[in-house]
Structure 1
């Protein structure tokens, strides 16, 4: 069963391998890892030791990741309470009245393979097939949408039952619209490569622009009621302060076998981040605290249910309706939005 889940999950996930080597060492010491442990799953034991090149008298060694001190027992390190993904294992070596820090890159993977989910269509609604959907979100039972392409990008308020656009704001021609989210009666919208996002009031009046930080592109947005989450096309999902829009922290999206990139449009629901996977008919279910991809929703077949046209593009757009406990799914230049229920896929 575990092998089946692993194989099915890989239909949707394109993994990449990370190279690992010493990031920092000295003429005195370096970190050595157990065989094959450059990649290790969360909550497993990492075996690490110190190569003592000068045969100095070592008093003690402590290990940490991201400033978090790790529990050790001899050469065994317990990997708990840390973020997943590409990390740096740092050792502080205390010797002969001195200390020295050395480090080594490692990759922390998820404990378990993703569960596989499928969908049941509850309702089908009309959708503007001129909308290159980049962001989709319900706020107080009303659907809001961000669309892309230069010269065609918009922010919209939509009656999802009829497909009618109730309010629309066009972006300037140099801006390619991307994800959106709404928090405390403020709308946040990204653009793609302009390093600029916008904040609006609920009447679409722009309050301010904001620059990106370490993330160079804007892809998807969602929020948990306190923090805003931002994807940028890499393995990282950033946590933003909703007032300053400063990138406070990030997680990396990983499975039990590899780090995964290209989370696109985001939705926060039931304590998880749901992320469209760019160019795939699947949605990842991500733990926002660790970055673990805990599930993958198989949306294959949905695109074939819309009217085929020359501009038809990929699935992109997921919005959770808390009142109905359903998800609304669409894509770029799709003429339909599907209201669906999600359930674990039977074997």
Structure 2
């Protein structure tokens, strides 16, 4: 009986080690070596690549791939021709002595440019509910929609932004912590934080019509859309692309600067090919290329919090909405008593 158990355990370990990813045995034989032993590169960079043959095996063929696509080797170099930035894996498929194995090398592909710095000018100030723990903010036509957070206090609101008056409100069940929202095709989508559940509302009746579950993402933070797909942040470096018909997370980008992968994107707003993302716990907003994840700019909103009433529950900047007719941004914070209309300016 003990022999059978030992054999079964050994078989399972063998199965685990030989299915998917690099084979540990292969790693003892071969290693991918990159130019300068670096791990960080930039998009479209040509880098030297060699295969270290540790045990001097007779190699028949080697093919390299990146993001699942075969890459050509020319003069012992490959081009990092990737559609998106962030964490990547270069894989080598090696045929030797009637055996084929696969190994990989983790790399990071960074933006080639440092983010530009932006500032702001205040155009108008409007009243905002000081008890609203703002998590999501979005305009539809001339009406502002807001999602608030905290369990037992979360809500979805339709607001007259000029007066701060709440026109309609739906309170979430006390089990849920409300997060980001977006509006697409007469539907409003709302995230919750850690419940892996989102809600769908009919925009005209302002009634809940359904819900959806998250996929690979563990949490719900911010939402926005480009008119075709929905973007979702989850507290990691990833921004997911959701199919608006199925709400399935089909792809993702990673938010990346010229120095590192960044994981602080919170509330989102989409404008002309860029995602504007509140930086979690910071008085700033990132401007992100919505196709490849490059952080192209950072808006410094320092000083804005000083213009609101101080009280024990006041919290950080959070909430950004673009008014397409006025072509201005509206920003506020958690438990702020003011909503600011601003222009974003290059410093």
TM-score by length of 1: 0.90
Worse-matched range after superposition: 68-77 or 95-104: 95-104
Partner residue, 2:117: 116
Separation in 2, partners of 1:71, 1:337 = 53
**Partner of residue 258 from structure 2, selected from 256, 259, 276:** 256
Note the alpha carbon deviations across 1:102-127, whole angstroms, 9 max, x for none.
Answer: 11111111111001111111111111
Worse-matched range after superposition: 271-280 or 25-34: 25-34
Extract unaligned runs of 5+ from structure 1: 1-21
Extract unaligned runs of 5+ from structure 2: 1-20
Q: Is 2:315 the partner of 1:296?
A: no
Separation in 2, partners of 1:208, 1:94 = 52
Partner residue, 1:307: 309
CA deviation after TM superposition for structure 1 residue 233, in Å: 0.6
Partner residue, 1:47: 48
Separation in 2, partners of 1:306, 1:23 = 55
Correspondence list, 1:1-347, <5 A: 26=26, 27-95=28-96, 99-202=100-203, 203-345=205-347
CA deviation after TM superposition for structure 1 residue 68, in Å: 2.3
Separation in 2, partners of 1:74, 1:97 = 27
CA deviation after TM superposition for structure 1 residue 138, in Å: 0.7
CA gap 1:240/1:135 in 2 versus in 1, 3 angstroms: same
Separation in 2, partners of 1:224, 1:267 = 9
CA deviation after TM superposition for structure 1 residue 237, in Å: 0.7
Worse-matched range after superposition: 70-79 or 102-111: 70-79
Partner residue, 1:17: none
Separation in 1, partners of 2:279, 2:201 = 27
Tell me if the contact between 1:43 and 1:111 (Cα under 8 Å) persists in the aligned partners: no
Separation in 2, partners of 1:91, 1:82 = 20
Note the alpha carbon deviations across 1:243-276, whole angstroms, 9 max, x for none.
Answer: 1111101111111111111210000011100000
Tell me if the contact between 1:146 and 1:180 (Cα under 8 Å) persists in the aligned partners: yes
Tell me if the contact between 1:320 and 1:328 (Cα under 8 Å) persists in the aligned partners: yes
Tell me if the contact between 2:22 and 2:102 (Cα under 8 Å) persists in the aligned partners: no
Note the alpha carbon deviations across 1:7-27, whole angstroms, 9 max, x for none.
Answer: xxxxxxxxxxxxxxx965504
Separation in 2, partners of 1:151, 1:189 = 16
The alignment partner of 2:36 has SS state of coil
Separation in 1, partners of 2:175, 2:265 = 24
CA gap 1:36/1:336 in 2 versus in 1, 3 angstroms: farther
Note the alpha carbon deviations across 1:55-104, whole angstroms, 9 max, x for none.
Answer: 23434433222212334312211112332111111122344665432111
CA gap 1:124/1:71 in 2 versus in 1, 3 angstroms: farther
Separation in 2, partners of 1:269, 1:71 = 36
Separation in 1, partners of 2:73, 2:202 = 51
Separation in 2, partners of 1:86, 1:50 = 21
Q: Which has the larger radius of gyration?
A: 2
Tell me if the contact between 2:67 and 2:82 (Cα under 8 Å) persists in the aligned partners: no
Moved over 6 A (4+): none
Tell me if the contact between 1:146 and 1:153 (Cα under 8 Å) persists in the aligned partners: yes
Separation in 1, partners of 2:228, 2:311 = 40
CA gap 1:72/1:324 in 2 versus in 1, 3 angstroms: farther
Separation in 2, partners of 1:94, 1:251 = 33
Tell me if the contact between 1:232 and 1:262 (Cα under 8 Å) persists in the aligned partners: no
Note the alpha carbon deviations across 1:152-174, whole angstroms, 9 max, x for none.
Answer: 10000111011111110000000
